Amino acid sequence: MPIQATDKIWMDGELVAWDEARVHVLTHTLHYGSGVFEGIRAYPTKNGPAVFRLTDHIKRLHDSADLFLMDMPYSVDELVEATRETVRVNNVESCYIRPIAYLGYGEMGLNPLPCEVKVSIAVWPWGSYLGDEGVRNGVRMKVSSWRRIDPNVNPVAAKGTGIYVNSQLAKVEALKAGYDEAILLNTHGFVAECTGENLFVVKNGVMITPPLSSGALEGITRASVITIARDLGVEVREDNLLRSDLYLADEAFLTGTAAEIVPMRSVDDREIGDPGEITRKIQETYFAVVHGEEDRYKDWLDYVNA
């Protein structure tokens, strides 16, 4: 999905013009995948743009940095404020927000410790990651032949840039085979997650999602959906899933900031069918929440003009 340029990008404490937001070709992270990043969304509300769970995302960025022993030069509060400012100055009603902390130019080699940590935050309007049609009617999934990175190979709790090579292999494999998105199993053969989303199945009225020990990222959408579902009176369990649990699901959907809530129509050509009742209810409530229409979850919204 093409990036739509906006006005300014926050780089190391300054707002610079979009076209000037450049890095050197010998930037450490370009060579070794040594960055950490976040994906956040701001939505239009009746009180102007609101960022969904901003502080939680920035805390996760800090946690990701800690996992790689990267010293973040800005506090959580500073980055929360910088994000709000970047959304505000770009005059966007709704946008995707991409903060990244990376190791800059000046050192090369596999010892990252001497490298300077740089941080930038860009925002741009970004439609539904798997398409509006996918959000409405569901997507076709393929279980990947690539396994999710084992947590003892890479700390998968971190949103580390290098970790996403694994996701890209799975994504390309699925697309070339004619599917929309991939599901990755972990080294034990249990379902972990999708390339950039967590997943849920519904069986006999119960929502089940793989535990974090499966190697799935602790998704903020996942956590939000678990809270919303329980508040709606739907039972939610974290449990290991086999690929056959996907095939035999009554309903299934994936969750992520970029993708939002997307029903699965089929997995490996086993039909799940039209989005089910629980999926629809979760989708509907989630979209109401992010647009500030559900008072109960108002603490999840950070109004940039407040």
In angstroms, what is the minimal distance from the CB of 241 to ligand PPE?
A: 15
Strands of 211-288, DSSP E: 236-238, 251-256, 260-267, 270-271
Nearer to ligand PPE, 90 or 255 (CB): 255
Nearer to ligand PPE, 217 or 229 (CB): 217
Q: Please identify every residue annotated as catalytic.
A: 159
282 three-class SS: helix
Residue burial 39-70, b: 16+ Cβ < 10 Å; e: rest: bbbbbebeeebbbbbbbbbbbbbbebbebbeb
Strands 139-143 and 260-267 turn out to be parallel
**Integer CA distances (angstroms), 34 to 10, 104, 133, 251, 279, in order:** 20, 10, 35, 37, 36
159 three-class SS: coil
Nearer to ligand PPE, 255 or 283 (CB): 255
Structure-block tokens of residue 259: 């993708």
In angstroms, what is the minimal distance from the CB of 215 to ligand PPE?
A: 9
The rounded distance, in Å, linking the Cα atoms of 257 and 221 is 6
CA 34 to chain centre: 18
State which residue has the least CB distance to ligand PPE.
Answer: 39
In angstroms, what is the minimal distance from the CB of 224 to ligand PPE?
A: 8
In angstroms, what is the minimal distance from the CB of 25 to ligand PPE?
A: 22
Interface positions with ligand PPE (CB under 6 A): 39, 193, 196-198, 217, 219-222, 255-258
Nearer to ligand PPE, 66 or 107 (CB): 66
